[in-house]
Structure 1
Amino acid sequence: MVFEGSSAAISHTGKVRSNNQDSGFSGSNLFVVADGMGGHAGGDIASSIAVHHLEGLDHSFPTPAEAERELREAIVDAAHVLVDTVAERPELAGMGTTVSAVLMVDDYAVIAHIGDSRVYLFRDGVFTQITTDHTFVQRLVDSGRITPEEARYHPRRSVLMRVLGDMGTDPEVDAFIMQTQPGDRWLICSDGLCGVVDDAQSAKVLRQDLAPGRTADMLLKLALDAGAPDNVTIVLVDVGGRHPMYSGTATIVGSAATPKGIEVPVARPARTGWFQTGRQAANEPSHFEPAAEYLEELIEEDRRRARRRRVWWIVGFITIVAVIAAGVFAGYAWTQTRYFVGPDDDSVVIYRGIQQDIGPISLSTPFEDTNILLADLPAYQRQAVEQTISARSLSDAEAIVDNLRQGTP
C-alpha cells in the first residue's frame, strides 16, 4: 500500500559554517536526514553517500519486518561504501555521517538510527523524542551523572559514540517498528535544529498544524534566530490527508542535492599567507567516534570537572557564610555601642544595645539598674520610660536618668 500523507524537506548552511555537510531526502515512503562530519569535503561526501545509497528503498514493502531488514542492510552497505571511498582517498580518513531514517509501510513507521540526528513524533499534542542520541553526554545522562539540561551545554556534547563512517563495516544501528496513525507528524532533523531549539519551541510550531513546508520553514527560522552554529536539515512527514499532496517526485536537500556532494574531490594543499589561514574554525569537524581508551579519559575528565564543580560550590558557600557572619558580627558590635532607658519589672534600667529584637534573639542587655521605681515617676515620665528613651551614648543615658530622679519625690 502506498503511504498516504504529505512531507517537506529543507536544509540550510546556518550562520557559521561555510558549507553544508548535511543531506536530506523526502520521497513517497522514505524520509532521511544525514549529518556529515570529517572536514570541509569529507562530511559532504559521507552524508551524500548515505542518502543516495538509501534512496533506492523509496518504494512499498510487503511487510514492516522486511522493510526493517532491508533498511538496516542498506545502512551497513553504505558503511562499506564509505570504507572503500577512504581506501581510495586516504586524505578523507575520519569522515562519517549520522543517519536517521523513517520508512513508511502500511500503518507502520520503520525507523533506523545511528548518531545524534533525531526522530520525533508529534501525536495528540504530545511531542516525543523517538530515537536516543549515540553521544558521550547521553551516556552521562543515562547513568545519572548529569541532567538533560546540563547535557545541552556540556563541552563534550558533540562527541559521538556511534557513527556511520570509515571506522568499520559493521555499524551498530538502532532499528525498530512503530505503529503510526492518521494525524501523526514525524520530524527528522540534524542537531543543527534540536541542538539549539528546545523541544517546547518545536512542539509549539508543530501544534499550529500548518502544512509541512510552512512548518519546516518556521522551525528553520527558530534555528537561525538562535544563531544556527551548525547546518540545519529538517524533514517533516504528516500521516493522513489533512494537507494537499505535493508531486510524487522525491526531494533531496543539502550536499546530496548537488553533484559535487557525491564526487570525491581532489585534495588541494592548504594555502597560507597574509590573507589566508591554514584552516577555518567553522569547518572543523564537530563530531568524531572515539576509541575505548579515549572514552575512559573523557569519563575521568568529567569526574574531575564534577569534583572541581563541587569544590567551587563548597568554597563559594563557605565564602558567602563567612561574609554573612562577618556582617552579622559587625552589626551586633555596632548595636553594643548604643544605649537606651527602659523599664524592667518595677524599676528604670539603662540598657546596652537597641530596642529591636531578631526573632528570639535580643539585641539589648541590662547595663545598670537605677533603683528608680516606676511607681514614683509622674505619669508622663513613666509612659516615656515604658516606651523606652533612646540615648546617643552612655553619658547621655545617665543624663536622662538624672532628669528622671529630679522628677521623683
Structure 2
Amino acid sequence: MTSLVLHYSAISDVGRVRKDNQDSGYAGPWLLTVCDGVGGAARGDIASSTAVKALRELDDAPADRGDLLDRVAAGLDAAHLAIGRLVDEEPALNGTSTTATVALFDGSRVGIGHVGDSRAYLYRSGELSQLTTDHTFVQTLVDEGRISPEEAETHPHRHVILRALDGNHDLEPDLFVLEVVPGDRLLLCSDGASGSLRPDRLADILATGTPDYAAVELVRASLEAGSTDNVTCVVADVLDETATADDPSFSDLEPLLVGAASELRRRGRGVSGGMGIFRGHRSGDTGELEPVDAEIPEGVPFAIATDPEAQRYAPRPPRRFAWLSRLLVLAVVVGLLWVATAAAWAWSQRQYYVGESDGQVTIFRGLDAELPGIALSEPYETSDVDVDLLSGFDANEVTEGIDAGDLESARETVQRLAEQQRTEPTAGASTEPTTGATTGEG
C-alpha cells in the first residue's frame, strides 16, 4: 500500500489591533493543531499554549492504526486536565479556556478532534469542504433554521462559543476519521481567518503555491479583509512518500510551533532563498506589524470599541445579590412616580374654577375635569348667587365651568355674577344683591 506523508507549514500573526497573541499552533509530521485562547484578564495565551504543549505529545508515528481516535481523545483530555491543574495552581487564571482543533495523521487517515470555533477544512480536486462544525451559539441558531449562514456572519453574538478546553466543564469533543489521498490539502485555522474570509476566497488561496505560500497568503488576506483578531493558519499537503524523496524543501522539514506557544520567530524555510516566509512573497509583507494600542478614541462610543474576545468562552459567574439590585431599581421607580404624582397634585390644588353645586354658584379647587373613580376637584367656597336667577348665557357658563386660575380671580368672577343677578334679574326674582359667600373649608 502507498505510504503518504504530510508537507506542512504554520504561521500565527498577532494582527493589527491586539497587543498580544492568544492563538497557538503546531505542525509536525503526524500532528496539526490550532488553539485559540480566551482574551482578557484570564490570559488566553496561557490556555492555548498549555493545550498545544500537551497535544504535541501526539506527534509520533502510530504504533496501532486502530486507536487513532482514542489517541486524539486522550490528547484533548490531557490538554483539558493540564489547564485545570494550571488554574488550581494559579486561581487568578480561573475562567481561562481555549478552542482546540486537532488533526492526527497515521499514514493514510487523519483523526479529527474538535472543540470550539477554530476550523478544519479539506481542499480536494478544486473543492473546499468544511470538516468541523462550530460549537457556537450562532451555529445552533443556524442548525435550528432560525437564521441563515449569511446572517450568522454578522450576528452580534457570533463570538460566543459553547464548548472549550477549560479544565472545569465536561469535555465533549467532536471526533471523526477522514480518509486522505495524495493531492489533498488540509487547513486548520483560528476564527481570525475563517471569520474574515469567505469559503470561495479560502479555496482560491488554497489552490495556489506551496503550504508555506498558502499559509502566508491566508494570514495576509485575513488582515487585509479587516480581521481585528489574531490569525493562525496551519496548511498541510498529503503527498506520496516516493514523490518527496528528492525534494530538498521536504528533507529539512521540522516541527513548527507558532503563536503564544512559541516566543521565537520562525527561521529558515523561506519561500524565496533563505529568507523567512514574511519576505519575498508576491504581495510583500504579511502585515505582521507592531500591535496597535487598542485605546478608545475620543468621541467613539464604548460599544464600538469593546473587544468581543473578552466575552467569548468563559461562562459568566452569576451576579451577586441580583434581587437586591432589582429591588433598589423598583424602589427608585416607585419613588420617582410618587414625587411626580405629589407634584401634580400640589399644582392641581392651586387651580380654581367657578361652577355650580346644588343650584348655587360655587368656587371649586382643582381641575375642571373628570377621571373614572377619581375626583379632581372639590367645592371650596359656596356663594349666595342662585344659578336660576342668572341670565341664560351666564347660567350656561357656570354650568360648563369658568376657569379662574387662582382664588382671587375666582372670587372676582363670583362678584361679577352677583352683580349681573342684581341688574338683570329673571322674572319673579328678588332685586336685592346677594354677594355674601360661605367657605367650604370653614
Q: What TM-score do the two structures reach when normalised by structure 1?
A: 0.63
Does the CA contact (< 8 Å) of 2:21 and 2:45 recur in 1?
Answer: yes
Q: Which moved more, 1:113-122 or 1:237-246?
A: 237-246
Does the CA contact (< 8 Å) of 1:98 and 1:114 recur in 2?
Answer: yes
Counterpart residue number, 1:287:
312
Alpha-carbon deviation of 1:80?
A: 1.2
Counterpart CA distance in 2 for 1:181 and 1:63 is: 20
Q: Letter of the aligned partner of 1:285 in structure 2?
A: A
Q: Which moved more, 1:121-130 or 1:57-66?
A: 57-66
Counterpart CA distance in 1 for 2:106 and 2:94 is: 36
Alpha-carbon deviation of 1:166?
A: 3.6
Does the CA contact (< 8 Å) of 1:160 and 1:290 recur in 2?
Answer: no
SS in 1 for 2:48: helix
Does the CA contact (< 8 Å) of 1:21 and 1:254 recur in 2?
Answer: yes
Alpha-carbon deviation of 1:64?
A: 4.0
Does the CA contact (< 8 Å) of 1:120 and 1:127 recur in 2?
Answer: yes
Counterpart CA distance in 2 for 1:292 and 1:162 is: 16
Counterpart residue number, 1:94:
95
Q: Letter of the aligned partner of 1:226 in structure 2?
A: A
Counterpart residue number, 1:190:
190
Long gaps (5+) in structure 1: 260-279, 295-409
Change (3 A) 1:29 1:100: same
Counterpart residue number, 2:237:
238
Answer yes or no: is 1:173 the counterpart of 2:178.
Answer: no
Counterpart CA distance in 1 for 2:234 and 2:113 is: 15
Q: Letter of the aligned partner of 2:190 in structure 1?
A: S
Q: Letter of the aligned partner of 1:233 in structure 2?
A: T
Q: Letter of the aligned partner of 1:152 in structure 2?
A: E
Counterpart residue number, 1:213:
212
Does the CA contact (< 8 Å) of 1:18 and 1:283 recur in 2?
Answer: no
SS in 1 for 2:233: strand
Counterpart residue number, 1:298:
none
Matched residues, number: 273
Alpha-carbon deviation of 1:167?
A: 2.9
Counterpart residue number, 1:258:
263
SS in 2 for 1:245: helix
How far does the alpha carbon of each residue in 1:219-274 deviate from its partner, in whole angstroms, 9 at most, with x for none? 11111101221000000000014774152421000000129xxxxxxxxxxxxxxx
Alpha-carbon deviation of 1:291?
A: 7.4
Answer yes or no: is 1:114 the counterpart of 2:84.
Answer: no
Counterpart residue number, 2:52:
51
Task: Could you list the structure 1 runs, at least 4 aligned residues long, displaced by more than 6 angstroms after superposition.
Answer: 291-294
SS in 2 for 1:4: strand
Alpha-carbon deviation of 1:106?
A: 1.9
Q: Letter of the aligned partner of 1:6 in structure 2?
A: H
SS in 1 for 2:228: coil
User: Within 5 Å, which residues of 2 pair with 1:55-94?
Assistant: 55-94=56-95
Does the CA contact (< 8 Å) of 1:30 and 1:104 recur in 2?
Answer: yes
Alpha-carbon deviation of 1:180?
A: 0.3
Answer yes or no: is 1:145 the counterpart of 2:142.
Answer: no
Counterpart CA distance in 2 for 1:253 and 1:99 is: 14
Aligned partner (choices 247, 269, 285) of residue 252 of structure 2: 247
SS in 2 for 1:165: coil
Look at both structures and tell me which one has the larger radius of gyration over its CA atoms: 2
Counterpart residue number, 1:360:
none
Alpha-carbon deviation of 1:31?
A: 0.5
Does the CA contact (< 8 Å) of 1:40 and 1:283 recur in 2?
Answer: no
Counterpart CA distance in 1 for 2:317 and 2:20 is: 31
Does the CA contact (< 8 Å) of 1:29 and 1:59 recur in 2?
Answer: yes
Answer 1 or 2: higher relative contact order, Cα 8 Å, separation at least 6.
1
Counterpart CA distance in 1 for 2:103 and 2:132 is: 11
Counterpart residue number, 1:397:
none
Does the CA contact (< 8 Å) of 1:31 and 1:103 recur in 2?
Answer: yes
User: Within 5 Å, which residues of 2 pair with 1:118-129?
Assistant: 118-129=119-130
How far does the alpha carbon of each residue in 1:282-340 deviate from its partner, in whole angstroms, 9 at most, with x for none? 5952412547999xxxxxxxxxxxxxxxxxxxxxxxxxxxxxxxxxxxxxxxxxxxxxx
Alpha-carbon deviation of 1:89?
A: 1.2
Counterpart CA distance in 2 for 1:140 and 1:40 is: 29
Counterpart residue number, 1:200:
200
Does the CA contact (< 8 Å) of 1:160 and 1:288 recur in 2?
Answer: yes
User: Within 5 Å, which residues of 2 pair with 1:317-328?
Assistant: none
Does the CA contact (< 8 Å) of 1:122 and 1:186 recur in 2?
Answer: yes
SS in 2 for 1:285: helix
Counterpart CA distance in 1 for 2:64 and 2:6 is: 19
Change (3 A) 1:284 1:62: closer
Structure with greater helix percent = 1
SS in 1 for 2:261: helix
User: Within 5 Å, which residues of 2 pair with 1:239-388?
Assistant: 239-240=238-239, 241=243, 244-245=249-250, 247-258=252-263, 281-282=306-307, 284-290=309-315
Q: What fraction of aligned residue pairs are identical, expressed as a percent?
A: 40
SS in 1 for 2:134: coil
Counterpart CA distance in 2 for 1:238 and 1:171 is: 30
User: Within 5 Å, which residues of 2 pair with 1:33-44?
Assistant: 33-40=34-41, 42-44=43-45
